[in-house]
């Protein structure tokens, strides 16, 4: 019998959909005078549902990226435009909190339960995984370059060669390894496969959804009334 | 016992030159014939780059279905011809564990990785849970551990567990023990032996560390050089493994490179002072202190995942201790160049267009490079692209490039993995050459699991362990007379 695993994680499909909604709505609302209320409301909601670790992780990114975008906008635009650019980054950051909390395997299993073809769900998983692998590989290659005593400042051409050739080779090698590994581990687009755990909706998901959608509806109403 | 696998006139070539007839083509092997009965445990061995992995990949269908090659002949699995069957069809009967486990991991959690193949073959959740628990207890891995933080050996165990979970009756394992400590390797070999003896599993295991595998196998398939000039290798089958003896006589005498005049008051080059280091929730080092003096030759030993490579990275400064400090004259940026660090995977360190360019880049003296070229037999491949070489050749080239710089301190991370005895001998001779050239004040710190090489790689041993007390120092100045250097170097430690 399939058992539904008790976790504190919100359902991955809900997180994916809400993350998209939050970003799109955020972009619509950036020019509203109450945009900061929008950010504060959802930040409080996320804190209530224990997303604080991810929020802390994202703050440096939002600050840095927001400042860069604001500064770039300021070159050709007004102070107000720069503020809007920062708001857009804030909206992206809010959406990022939800999307980054999705555990890839949970998303794959939830998509499988919705009968989404396995090549799509697994493709999505590998794309997510590849970003992480890419980051690790870059770190290792930079370490290897340092070990051969090559510096970008003194020999930029050699440094670029030492960076891009191993990076290309590693990416190709990892892609080939992953493809072979998938085939030899029985992955097939023809078979639906089974699921180790069932990702189902829990009471926590319902409470989160009700609160999230209520807040979003209120802001949508404010936005429409303003127009 | 019925026949599990039969190979009939199997030939392999990567020679795609147009207009060549079969007679003129260069073949990796030609017209191989053998039968393997159910329950056989076979060791496939031979020199680096001789075609062991290719033979395994032909049986599981990776060649020619995923990697292009000219293949002739037929393969029968349980009496059915599978020559034209794709990999996913053959996977129903054949399980494969490949080299480079790092490249095959998809998920970020150990348990998810192990259950993934079981999900693919439609196992029930309950059965998956049972198998998962059994495999976790067999490998000693933690279900919630992050795959990115596993050591090389732990990743190899993980991939082996994934394959065993699928339950195919024919298992192909391509150097699964390469990064494993002796205890883990023996545990895996015992499990495979049990599966083969009691449940009729057919196991084909490719490995260089013959002395480790030999007691468990029924037959040895030895890849030897072919007499036909158009064919690179052929198989010699020894039906009775007991009559097969591994040849380690060519290794240099450890005493021949024993140091004679290391100063008793040599200056410390690395003083590790009460460091703590954690990976996630795991404490790898807790109040750990250690001193390396100039001219020391240390070998770091220990179980998989106990922090051997991390210790090298801490010494080099790639990672910083959570608490405590490492005092060294090499902490200064300009002195870092005087450290040579040979990584486990040579692919990261090779990027020049020709082998020759790679060797001479940053080389201290052309004469030393020429000596290394002769020693490693690179004469005929100097114009080749480094990445076109076999894995063993790349490893030797990566090693030669680093020592050509004549570093004052040398870090070697599993330098002999995947090398045959000849390759290992070349590597040890190169180290001796480096010492001859630059005197006895070279400091070498090596991480190794290779029982063949450990006695030759150093004369002081640091044993790391997960267990309490997790750290032991073993200073042994006596040259080893047997396979292990001292009684304190237990097999558990290696």
**Which mean pLDDT values do the consecutive 10-residue runs of chain B (494 residues) have?**
88 81 82 91 84 89 86 91 88 87 84 91 90 89 87 84 89 85 83 88 88 88 82 77 51 47 72 86 82 89 84 91 90 86 88 91 88 91 86 89 91 87 87 81 87 82 68 47 37 42
Three-class SS state of A219? helix
Cβ pair A183:B125 closer than 8 A: no
Q: How high is the ipTM of this complex? A: 0.75
Nearest residue of chain A to residue B119 (CA atoms): A194
Q: Please report the pLDDT score of residue A217 as a whole number.
A: 94
Least confident of A118-132, A133-147, B59-73, B205-219: A118-132
Give the model's pLDDT for residue B264: 58
For residues A4 and B155, which has the higher predicted lDDT (pLDDT)?
B155
CA distance to partner chain A, nearest, from residue B432 (Å): 22
Confidence of residue A7 (pLDDT cuts 50, 70, 90): low
- Residue-level pLDDT at A179: 83
pLDDT interval class at A86 (50, 70, 90): very high
Most confident of A4-18, A54-68, B135-149, B456-470: A54-68
> Which residues have C-beta within 8 Å of that of residue B7, sequence separation ≥ 6?
B32, B33, B34, B35, B59, B73, B74, B75, B76
Nearest to A130 by CA among A102, A111, A164, A104: A104
Exposed, middle or buried, B203 (CB in 10 Å: 0-12/13-18/19+)?
Answer: buried
Smallest Cβ–Cβ distance between A177 and the set B103, B115, B362 belongs to: B103
Residues of A in contact with B119 (CB under 8 A): 193-196
- Do A161 and B62 make contact, defined as CB atoms within 8 angstroms? no
Q: Which tokens sit at A223?
A: 């936005």
Between the ranges A26-30, A179-183, B21-25, where is the mean pLDDT highest?
A: A26-30
What is the rounded CA–CA span in Å between residue A41 and residue A33?
14
Contacts of B387 in chain A (CB under 8 A): 165, 169
Residue A64 has pLDDT above 70, yes or no: yes
Q: What angle do CA B176, B178, B183 make, to 5 degrees?
A: 85
pLDDT for residue B122 = 86
Q: What's the predicted TM-score (pTM) here? A: 0.75
Runs of H (alpha helix) within B200-276: 210-213
Q: How many Å apart are CA B288 and CA B296, to the nearest integer?
A: 19
Contact B286, B467 (CB under 8 A): no
CA distance B35 to B2: 10
Nearest CA in chain B to A124: B106
Distance from B139 to chain A by nearest Cα, in Å?
19
Q: Taking CB atoms and an 8 Å limit, are A195 and B119 in contact across chains?
A: yes
Cβ-based contacts of B340 with chain A (< 8 Å): 147
Are B108 and A104 in contact (CB < 8 Å)? yes
Which residue from B minimizes the CA distance to A179? B104
How high is the pLDDT of residue B255?
A: 42
Which chain B residues are closer than 8 Å to A143 by Cβ? 318, 348
From B150's Cα to the closest Cα of chain A, the distance in A is 13
Give the nearest chain B residue to A173 (CA atoms): B103
Kindly list the residues from chain B whose CB atom is less than 8 angstroms away from the CB atom of residue A173: 100, 103, 347
Q: What is the pLDDT of residue B355?
A: 92
Q: Which residues contact B436 (CB under 8 A, 6 or more apart)?
A: none
Which structure tokens are listed for A78?
A: 């007004």
Contacts of A185 in chain B (CB under 8 A): 91, 116-117, 120, 162-163, 166
**Whether B117 and A186 lie within 8 Å, measured CB to CB:** yes
Q: Which residue of B has its CA nearest to A4?
A: B125
B349 vs A2, A3, A144: nearest CB:
A144
Q: What is the pLDDT of residue B337?
A: 84
Element (DSSP H or E) covering residue B88 = helix B87-90
């Amino acid at each position: 019998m399939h058992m539904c695993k008790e976790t504190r994680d919100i359902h991955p499909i809900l997180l994916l959909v809400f993350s998209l909604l939050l970003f799109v709505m955020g972009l619509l609302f950036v020019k509203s005078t109450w945009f900061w209320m929008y950010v504060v409301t959802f930040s409080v909601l996320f804190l209530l549902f224990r997303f604080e670790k991810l929020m802390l992780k994202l703050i440096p990114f939002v600050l840095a990226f927001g400042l860069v975008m604001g500064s770039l906008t300021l070159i050709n635009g007004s102070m107000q435009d720069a503020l809007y650019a920062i708001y857009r980054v804030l909206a992206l950051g809010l959406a990022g909190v939800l999307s980054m909390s999705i555990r890839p395997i949970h998303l794959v299993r939830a998509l499988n339960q919705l009968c989404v073809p396995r090549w799509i769900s697994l493709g999505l998983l590998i794309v997510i995984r590849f970003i992480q692998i890419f980051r690790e590989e870059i770190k290792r290659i930079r370490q290897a370059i340092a070990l051969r005593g090559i510096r970008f400042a003194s020999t930029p051409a050699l440094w670029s060669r030492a960076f891009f050739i191993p990076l290309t080779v590693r990416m190709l090698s990892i892609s080939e390894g992953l493809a072979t590994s998938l085939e030899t581990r029985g992955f097939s687009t023809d078979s639906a496969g089974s699921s180790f755990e069932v990702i189902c909706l829990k009471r926590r998901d319902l409470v989160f959804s009700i609160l999230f959608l209520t807040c979003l509806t209120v802001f949508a109403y404010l936005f429409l009334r303003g127009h | 016992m019925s026949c599990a696998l039969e190979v009939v006139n199997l030939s392999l070539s990567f020679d795609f030159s147009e207009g060549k007839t079969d007679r003129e083509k260069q073949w990796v092997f030609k017209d191989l014939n053998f039968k393997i009965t159910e329950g056989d445990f076979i060791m496939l061995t031979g020199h680096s780059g001789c075609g062991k992995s290719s033979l395994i990949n032909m049986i599981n269908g990776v060649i020619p279905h995923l990697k292009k090659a000219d293949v002739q002949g037929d393969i029968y699995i349980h009496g059915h011809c599978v020559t034209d069957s794709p990999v996913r069809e053959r996977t129903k009967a054949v399980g494969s564990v490949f080299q480079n486990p790092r490249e095959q991991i998809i998920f970020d959690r150990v348990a998810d990785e192990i259950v993934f193949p079981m999900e693919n073959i439609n196992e029930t959740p309950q059965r998956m849970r049972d198998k998962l628990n059994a495999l976790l207890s067999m490998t000693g891995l933690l279900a919630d551990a992050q795959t990115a933080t596993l050591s090389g050996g732990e990743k190899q165990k993980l991939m082996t567990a994934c394959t065993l979970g699928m339950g195919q009756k024919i298992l192909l394992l391509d150097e699964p023990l390469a990064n494993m400590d002796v205890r883990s390797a023996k545990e895996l070999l015992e499990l495979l032996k049990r599966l083969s003896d009691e449940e009729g599993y057919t196991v084909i295991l490719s490995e260089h560390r013959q002395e480790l595998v030999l007691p468990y196998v029924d037959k040895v398939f030895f890849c030897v050089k072919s007499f036909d000039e158009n064919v690179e290798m052929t198989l010699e089958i020894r039906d009775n493994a007991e009559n097969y003896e591994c040849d380690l006589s060519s290794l240099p005498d450890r005493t021949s490179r024993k140091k004679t005049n290391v100063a008793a008051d040599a200056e410390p080059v690395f003083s590790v002072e009460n460091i703590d280091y954690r990976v996630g929730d795991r404490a790898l080092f807790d109040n750990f202190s250690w001193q390396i003096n100039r001219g020391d030759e240390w070998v770091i030993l220990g179980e998989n995942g106990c922090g051997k490579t991390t210790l090298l990275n801490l010494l080099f400064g790639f990672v910083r201790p959570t608490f405590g400090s490492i005092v060294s004259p090499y902490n200064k940026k300009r002195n870092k160049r005087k450290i040579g660090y040979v990584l486990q995977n040579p692919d990261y360190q090779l990027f020049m267009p020709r082998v020759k360019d790679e060797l001479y880049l940053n080389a201290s003296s052309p004469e030393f490079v020429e000596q290394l070229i002769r020693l490693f037999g690179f004469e005929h491949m100097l114009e080749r692209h480094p990445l076109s070489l076999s894995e063993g050749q790349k490893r030797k080239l990566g090693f030669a490039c680093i020592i050509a710089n004549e570093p004052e301190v040398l870090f070697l991370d599993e330098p002999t993995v995947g090398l045959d005895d000849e390759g290992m001998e070349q590597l040890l001779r190169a180290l001796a050459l480096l010492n001859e050239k630059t005197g006895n004040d070279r400091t070498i710190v090596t991480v190794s699991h290779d029982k063949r090489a450990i006695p030759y790689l150093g004369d002081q041993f640091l044993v790391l362990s997960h267990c309490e007390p997790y750290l032991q120092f073993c200073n042994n100045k006596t040259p080893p007379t047997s396979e292990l250097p001292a009684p304190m170097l237990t097999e558990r430690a290696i």
